[in-house]
Amino acid sequence: MSALLTPKVIDQEPSDYVRRHCTVVAEFGAATQDSGNVSWLVDTPQGRYFVKTAGPTGEQAPGSPTPYLDHGDRVGLLRNAVDLASSCPHVALPRLLNVIESPSGPGLVYDAAPGELVHVPPDRRADPNSAYQRFAHLPADDLLCLFDVLVDLHRALAAAGWVACDLYDGCLIVDFEGPSLRVIDLDTYRRGPSVNDMGHMFGSSRFMAPEELEMGAVIDQRTTTFTLGRLIWHFGTRLTEQAPRFCGPPALARAVQRACRPRPADRHASVAAFADAWEAGRSLP
């Protein structure tokens, strides 16, 4: 059994434990993100895993970006991620295999998701070799099948009470050999309807609903439908945002366009309603 899958509590920092028992393939910390979290992709004799932590409890190293959440809040989001994983097993979510408690909080051990992260820095979005461009230009049937998975996952999450937050192309990992889709980093999803208590919530402005930018606005399943619609429209139109370029039939395009309407009342009333409209559109020529 892997050393990552057996302990429930360790008396050392996760970084020391990971480096002692695994081969680090990649580290994701201050050099690549500003969240304050520190994560590792690791190899073990039993397979490849992804380990996510809240990072160190002390001050960031000199020159590192200031995290947008303090350590306690980051720990809270990791525990939220554990709740989400346990409430909604789905093929598109990498399996949460273990939670290891440490002096600096939990370490979440996931199956490593095969494939490439769709998100790339803005200056690479035009690169035809980027995962961003390759995803957007998959054959229509392949792209629609991946959207099927994304919609089905969020139908299941909504049924378990979750509302999307910070869903963007940085959550999508695509294995182009399949192709197949995994969805990651859903730590900030919220249980049930809530109120925007941040003003500008977590997320990419390219995909966020208007209410995610308005203090006091209601955040509910209609917010999830907007973000799903924007992701599907952006990539489904081959990055053009133009209806004639959409990869599916007109009825499907109309279902997605409705999801993206600015006023929540004009959208599908729930994720299930959007999923039903999506499935109906998918069945048409």
Residue 3 lies in a domain: no
Check which CATH number belongs to the domain holding 197 and give it: 1.10.510.10
- Split at pLDDT 50, 70, 90, the class of 230 is very high
**For range 134-156, the mean pLDDT:** 98
Whether residue 81 is found in the same domain as residue 207: no
Among 58, 57, 64, CA closest to 29: 64
Strands (E), the chain: 23-28, 38-44, 47-53, 96-102, 105-111, 116-117, 162-163, 172-175, 180-183, 190-191, 194-195, 218-219
Residue 51 and residue 61: Cα distance in Å, rounded?
Answer: 21
Together in a domain, 95 and 145: no
Residue 1 lies in a domain: no
Question: Is there a single domain that holds both residue 184 and residue 275?
Answer: yes
Residues 267, 212 share a domain: yes
d(CA 220, CA 164): 8
Pairing of strands 116-117, 162-163: unpaired
- 157-201 pLDDT, tens digit each: 999 999 999 999 999 999 999 999 999 999 999 999 999 999 999
Whether 22 is covered by a domain: the verdict is yes
d(CA 84, CA 164): 11
**Residue 9: strand, helix, or coil:** strand
CATH number at residue 98: 3.30.200.20
Q: Which of 111, 131, 149 is where one domain is finished?
A: 111
Residue 69 shares a structural domain with residue 33:
yes
How many independent structural domains does the chain possess?
Answer: 2
The residue segments making up the domain with residue 217 are 116-282
pTM for the model stands at 0.95
**What average pLDDT does range 50-60 have in this prediction?**
84
Q: Which one-letter DSSP state was computed for residue 164?
A: -
pLDDT recorded at residue 60: 58
Cβ atoms of residues 155 and 162 within 8 Å? no
Cβ-based neighbours of 73, under 8 Å, separated by 6 or more? none
Specify whether 156 is located in the same domain as 77: no
Does some domain include residue 80? Answer: yes
Could you tell me where the DSSP H helices lie in 88-213?
A: 131-136, 140-159
